[in-house]
Amino acid sequence: MLTTRYQKVRALSLPDILRMHALFEAHYASSPLTTFLDDLSRKDGAFVVRHRQTGEIVGFSTLGIYTFQLGGRRAKGLFSGDTIIEGAHRGSRTLQKAFAWKLFIEAIKAPLTPQYWLLISKGYKTYLLMARNFPEYHPRRDQASPAMAAMVQEYCEALFPGKLNRQTMLLEFGNDANRLKPDVADITDAMRTDPDIRHFERLNPTWSEGTELPCLARTDLVAFVKAIGPFMLKVLKHRFAARPVVADQSDEAARAA
């Protein structure tokens, strides 16, 4: 049984950070601790996935929260950084539920401000998470969105100046870039029957070399009403169902009398 909690970076203990880096190192090539710490220091917090009984960390996903001028408007951007789940636990949806809840809470804080999930994907799994759960996103295989494409370029230049290749529309971080280790997220011929996986590989054919596909998904209240709302109802139902029922003391006293 797993549980996920969002924690501010400053609230993470040293053992927690070292465990997170160990997980990162097990899945990514070129993963020195100094680079990991530098990246973590630029984030607001992290979703930490633990065994409910032992408290051991088995996964995490870092998050940065920024304010941008996207498409000429003030917008909030939630940027997903390093994300790791141990192989034995990848079927769990606890991280996805916690992430969806965080998106919802941030959208409520500024209901009139457009909000977007900013992500860069070196593997197909993150891309599928976006493509399968959000109604408005870029890049998508069935519909072009020049406006969202322009927003992607804006946030790439803001967060990663000079790293975006305007010809390939991929982020390139050089030969020392983090890259997935073999067998972590390989794409097999059988998987290529999935049109979204094929689309990801067409857009980022050099993913195994560490190139990142920048993506964008709308996650404000409008998006929640359209598609994420039903999922959030399931999350809320799960949260309230998990709460212990506390008997009313006055009723107990009356029954005792």
Q: Looking at residue 250, what is its pLDDT?
A: 45
pLDDT < 50 regions, the chain: 248-257
Q: Which residues contact 172 (CB under 8 A, 6 or more apart)?
A: 163, 164, 165, 211
Distance CA 126, CA 90 (A): 12
Where do we find the tokens 């870039």? 177
Question: Which residues of the chain form beta strands (DSSP E)?
Answer: 2-8, 28-29, 45-51, 57-70, 73-85, 115-121, 137-138, 164-165, 170-171, 179-180, 213-218
Q: Looking at residue 149, what is its pLDDT?
A: 93
Q: Which residues contact 123 (CB under 8 A, 6 or more apart)?
A: 180, 184, 185, 207
Q: Looking at residue 249, what is its pLDDT?
A: 47
In 3D, which of 50, 71, 210, 229 has the Cα closest to residue 147? 71
Q: Quick one: tokens of 191?
A: 């998987």
Q: pLDDT of 139-189, one tens digit each?
A: 999 888 999 999 999 999 999 999 999 999 999 987 766 656 555 567 888
Predicted TM-score (pTM) above 0.85: no
Q: Looking at residue 216, what is its pLDDT?
A: 95
What is the distance between the terminal CA atoms of the chain, rounded to a whole angstrom? 42
| Cis preceding-peptide flag for 32 (omega within 30 of 0) | no
Q: Is the CA virtual torsion 37, 173, 84, 62 positive or negative?
A: positive
Q: Looking at residue 255, what is its pLDDT?
A: 43
